[in-house]
Amino acid sequence: MSTVAAILKHKGYNVLTVSPDARISDVSAILSDNRIGAVLVLDEAEQMLGIVSERDIVRCLAANGTRTIDMTAGQLMTRAVQIAHPDTTVVEAMRMMTAGRFRHLPVVDHDTLVGLISIGDVVKARIMQQEATVESLTAYVAGSA
């Protein structure tokens, strides 16, 4: 069964992060410029404090209007961040994301941040698994005919 490690091997390990004092206007620019949906918020010791997603920004805009732009990542971030490990299966990651209704999942290995996967990454991996299964079954059936 495919794991989060396989997704990261294909996708890469680069994770964009911001400090808790980064302004939301800057965070928004990072998200837009890099065509990503979330950044992790790390302290000076590289410890994960939270995550800021597009959804967090939109919710804050709805509640606070233009004041949101002057807020900081530390003020706006989601603090209760679920994590995956490299050996977490794709199915487990999908279940976590679906149950928690979030789209981004940090990957931690022995207390070290090693990556960040999105629901799109998980769906892509799942589709690839299903295609491989179909091909295998098709080859089996064709070979036995």
pTM: 0.86
Cβ burial of 101 (10 Å; 0-12, 13-18, 19+) is exposed
Domain ranges of the chain: 4-144
Per-residue pLDDT reduced to its tens digit, 104-129: 999 999 989 999 999 999 999 888 87
Cα 51 to Cα 35: distance, rounded to the nearest angstrom? 16
Per-residue pLDDT reduced to its tens digit, 51-60: 999 999 999 9
First and final CA of the chain: distance in angstroms?
28
> In CATH, what class is 4-144?
alpha beta
Q: What pLDDT is recorded for position 145?
A: 55
pLDDT beneath 70, residues of the chain: 1, 144-145
Q: What pLDDT is recorded for position 110?
A: 93
Cα 36 to Cα 53: distance, rounded to the nearest angstrom? 9
Q: What pLDDT is recorded for position 25?
A: 96
